[in-house]
Amino acid sequence: MMAWLSDVNTVYIFLAGAFGIFMAWGIGANDVANAMATSVGSRALTIKQALIIAAIFEFAGAYLAGGEVTNTIRSGIVSVEAFDDHPEYLVWGMLASLLSAGIWLTVASFQGWPVSTTHSIVGAIVGFAAVGVGTDAVSWGSVLNIATSWVFSPFIAGVLAFLVFTSIHKLVLDTRDPLKNARRYGPYYLFAVGFILSLVTVQKGLAHVGLNIPQGLEIFIAIGVGVVLALVGAILIKKVAIDEQADKTFHFASVEKIFGVLMIFTASAMAFAHGSNDVANAVGPMSAIISMVNEGGQLAAKSAVPGWVLLVGAVGIVLGLATFGYQVMMTVGKKITELTPTRGFSAEFATASTVVVASYTGLPISTTHTLVGAILGVGFARGIAAIDMRIVGNIFMSWVVTLPAGAILSILFFFMLKGMFS
């Protein structure tokens, strides 16, 4: 078994690192807009502030809490037993998947399309496994679940965003004293944000750094975080300067400033949660390759991701965000529908809630699809005329193309690598 690896170990690991950082760059360029686009589009944060917050929290999330084991790749999308006779096929396939998903994300980012990094890598893995090895190598049930999430995650987030924005209207905007009610209810909304997003982090993140929270205890931790966030938020809300002149021009100017404060919290926490979850799209295939090399052609039953691999993923995400992230940020944050802090808050809150529900049910979910669905929900709450349907049409087309694009590129690169190394 070691014979096929003996002379190419270093090459495989080098290529895994190079293609992995390329894929992570693509995640940063395309997917980090999920955490930041609504904050920028609603003018709660400038692009520069968003980039700084995202860089800090995406890096922290990816490096500290992104240590995904390779279970999804090992027993989810492909059947590892199908590679027993040719373990090198899995190495070539994972290399091909990283390269093809990275290229597709680069194309999508250049066009300003918010596509799913999850579906890019899944399409790539399915492509090489089905064509390079055989259709039996693919776990089609898992692929069907992923396709199902395309429909349900945007729909659920859209409904939630619609309800959250409607509640803000009823409790704050459509009252006699919107400013007073914004100050009153703002901390309650922040409690909900802290509760939901700490659940994401505790359940999906902390286990990967050796902190295994006993089941049930995460609820109490989330309540504690929610209370702390509500108290901090209440203090910051009191300090918001009221601009009476601006209020005369736009009745809700000061109210929107208060929700702008709330969005700083949602943006930071969403960035951390996104980094901890989506870095796996880059480091999962990398760690599978490294595990195969280190174990002499066998994929270890359960292998933690090496620290340097997480570092590669974290650095790649931040580089992608800093160099190219603004393109998709502008599409999601400004072009679908006009966002204000109240609308952006509703969309981010709904996205976080949907992700938490999905993580508990085990549904493979796309943050991109979820956030776009949430922004559409906010748009519908204002009436269909508030939505730019041409932009929405372009986004939906890019979603449809993502899976086959990843698959076709992956098949081509798999056979190229097979020709080079066999």
What is the span of the domain harbouring residue 240? 9-421
What do you get for the CA distance between the two ends of the chain, in Å? 14
Instruction: Specify the residue for token string 């995650």.
Output: 153
Q: Quick check: is 404 in a domain?
A: yes
Question: Does residue 260 have a pLDDT over 80?
Answer: yes
Distances in Å between the Cα of 343 and the Cα atoms of 142, 158, 166, 378 are 34, 12, 10, 6
Task: Say if residue 69's pLDDT is above 60.
Answer: no
Average pLDDT over residues 177-201: 86
Q: Is residue 253 part of a domain?
A: yes
Residue 230 confidence (pLDDT):
94
The tens digit of pLDDT for each residue in 295-337 reads 766 655 555 667 777 788 888 888 888 887 777 777 665 666 6
Q: What pLDDT score does 104 carry?
A: 92
Which residue, among 172, 144, 322, 196, has the nearest Cα to 257 in the 3D structure? Answer: 172
Whether the predicted pLDDT of 1 surpasses 50: no
The DSSP code for 173 is I
26 vs 8: CA distance, rounded Å: 27
Q: What value does the mean pLDDT of the chain take?
A: 79
Helix locations, 304-340, DSSP H: 307-324, 326-330
Calculate what percentage of the chain has a pLDDT beyond 90. 15
Q: Looking at the domain assignment, is residue 2 inside a domain? A: no
Please report whether residue 4 resides in a domain: no
In a domain, 34, yes or no: yes
User: What pLDDT, in 10s, does the model give residues 39-65?
Assistant: 777 777 787 888 788 888 877 777 766
pLDDT by residue (tens digit) across 86-116?
Answer: 888 888 999 999 999 999 999 888 887 778 7
Q: What pLDDT was estimated at residue 76?
A: 64
Amino acid sitting at position 66: G
- Give how many domains the chain has, as a whole number: 1
pLDDT value of position 343? 85
Considering the domain boundaries, does residue 323 fall inside one?
Answer: yes
1 is a domain residue:
no
Q: How far is CA 295 from CA 14, 39, 83, 220, 290, in A?
A: 17, 45, 14, 41, 8
Can you tell me the mean pLDDT for 210-237? 86
Interval 70-86 mean pLDDT: 65
Look at 36 and 209; give whichever has higher pLDDT: 36
Beta bridge partners of 337: 387
